[in-house]
Structure 1
Amino acid sequence: MIDKDFTIVIADDHPMLLSGLNEELTRNGYNVIGQANNGAKALDLILKLQPDIALLDIDMPLMTGLEVIKTAKEKNSETKFVILSFHREPEYVVQAKALQIDGYLLKEDSFVEIDSCMETVLSGREYFSNSFDTASLDSASEEMTKLKTLTPSEVTILKLIASQKNTVEIAEELFVSTRTVEKHRSNIIDKLLLEKGTNTLTNWALLNRVLISKI
């Protein structure tokens, strides 16, 4: 039986979901010390209240849950971070693993799984919802491995692409030719095993900008 003598901050931009989660946690004996309906407020509560666990949605105004986690970790927060989201797509799992979050639950999970997750992360272990299959988690680890094959120059260019700079702007910033940037882009696409296309790398970089910021 889990010892519930620890503090929790929860964040979700849907009022009914936030209220329902708070009521369910409180009814089950958990100590919820803060609620937020946007990412900026969630970050503020985490840094001020220093909860043991933060349960965060991904899609929130002002800052996403992943951006909250990244910023809090940069400020040396010791809070355990658990994502609670509808998103099960591989790109979100990859970003979660890159941020070394403690847990990832799906909103379709039963409350029993929330219990299991909290017990696991408080013991210092990682917890991903049982709804995730092993193949998708392994695939996320493979994506991170691919990123590690990039050269420093390729990483720099990928970060600039993620910041929505085009080839000409990147060339000007790095004092290289557009041809050099295009060559790097082609190499990055090959190393990440992406389909070749005009906007393939740009779309991938924008979707995975939190992950890219960690390399």
Structure 2
Amino acid sequence: MNLKISILVADDHPLLLKGLRNELLNLNFNVLEGANNGAQALEIIAKKKPTIAILDISMPLLTGFEVIKKSKESLSTTKFIILTSYKEKGFILKAKQLNISGYLLKDEPFSEIKKCIKKVLKGEFYASSVFDDVFKNEVSPQIEKIKFLSPSERTIVRLIANENSTKQIAEILSISSRTVDKHRANIISKLDLQSDSNALSVWVSKNKDLLDLV
């Protein structure tokens, strides 16, 4: 049964790549020749259409995220699992935006990868506990705050994210600078930020990608 399921592993660390392929072969999966850079992984996915691709994030030529994005743009049916050392909010948010099937840390036992593959084949999402912890404690609270912003306020936040000044925002939206300032004050209040001049800009620089999730 497992032989019908083809798996690609892509990682630029030879020992990890070889070890993971061997473990999957022992489980009787149809394991394709591994890729040691993102461009090679993308080419294999396009040609051989594996059931699952297990990708590192940091690889030469193309990152794991870039491989996933380009594959999805080509309407690939491959399901993607990220296997990485990164547990920071930015990486987890990017993974969420790409709607991947699994997110695992490299320091976890192989049994976790096996469990993840089983879930992914059932059409379920599976991730390391740290993924859920970061999303629950760092990402979701900010998303809930953004939901309280009006459409106009979200537009202004996006314009701030694109480094537009108050004057430029006023010109783009055909409103007065005073109206923009009122919106900024309301946004600061709803986001529960300090009312100093840089607080909103700092928040936007850290959380602008969250706007795409709301």
Q: Is TM > 0.5 for Structure 1 vs Structure 2? A: yes
* Paired residues, number: 208
SS at match of 2:4: coil
Given candidates 200, 203, 215, the residue that maps to 2:202 is: 200
Within a 5 Å distance, the mapping from 1:47-58 to structure 2 comes to 47-58=46-57
Deviations 1:87-133 (A, max 9, x none): 2234433443343321111111111110000001111111112x438
Superposed displacement of residue 6, structure 1: 1.0
CA shift in 2, pair 1:29/1:156, >3 Å? farther
Aligned to 1:69: 68
Distance in 2 separating the partners of 1:183 and 1:60? 45
Superposed displacement of residue 35, structure 1: 1.6
CA shift in 2, pair 1:62/1:97, >3 Å? same
RMSD between aligned alpha carbons? 3.7
SS at match of 2:2: coil
More helix by share: 2
Distance in 2 separating the partners of 1:15 and 1:82? 19
Distance in 1 separating the partners of 2:173 and 2:43? 36
Superposed displacement of residue 83, structure 1: 1.4
Distance in 1 separating the partners of 2:65 and 2:142? 17
Aligned to 1:79: 78
Aligned to 1:37: 37
Structure 1 stretch 106-115 or stretch 26-35: which is displaced more? 26-35
Aligned to 2:11: 12
Superposed displacement of residue 178, structure 1: 6.0
Q: TM-score normalised to the size of structure 1?
A: 0.70
Distance in 2 separating the partners of 1:7 and 1:189? 50
Distance in 2 separating the partners of 1:71 and 1:189? 37
Which is greater in Rg? Answer: 2
Percent of matched pairs sharing the same residue:
45
Aligned to 1:21: 20
Name the aligned partner's letter for residue 84 of structure 2.
Answer: S
Within a 5 Å distance, the mapping from 1:76-115 to structure 2 comes to 76-115=75-114
Name the aligned partner's letter for residue 203 of structure 1.
Answer: S
CA shift in 2, pair 1:147/1:7, >3 Å? farther
Distance in 2 separating the partners of 1:88 and 1:121? 20
Name the aligned partner's letter for residue 24 of structure 2.
Answer: L
Structure 1 stretch 3-12 or stretch 151-160: which is displaced more? 151-160
CA shift in 2, pair 1:118/1:161, >3 Å? farther
CA contact (8 A) 2:2 2:28 kept: no
Name the aligned partner's letter for residue 99 of structure 1.
Answer: L
Superposed displacement of residue 142, structure 1: 4.1
Distance in 1 separating the partners of 2:195 and 2:56? 33
Superposed displacement of residue 42, structure 1: 3.5
Aligned to 2:163: 165
Q: TM-score normalised to the size of structure 2?
A: 0.70
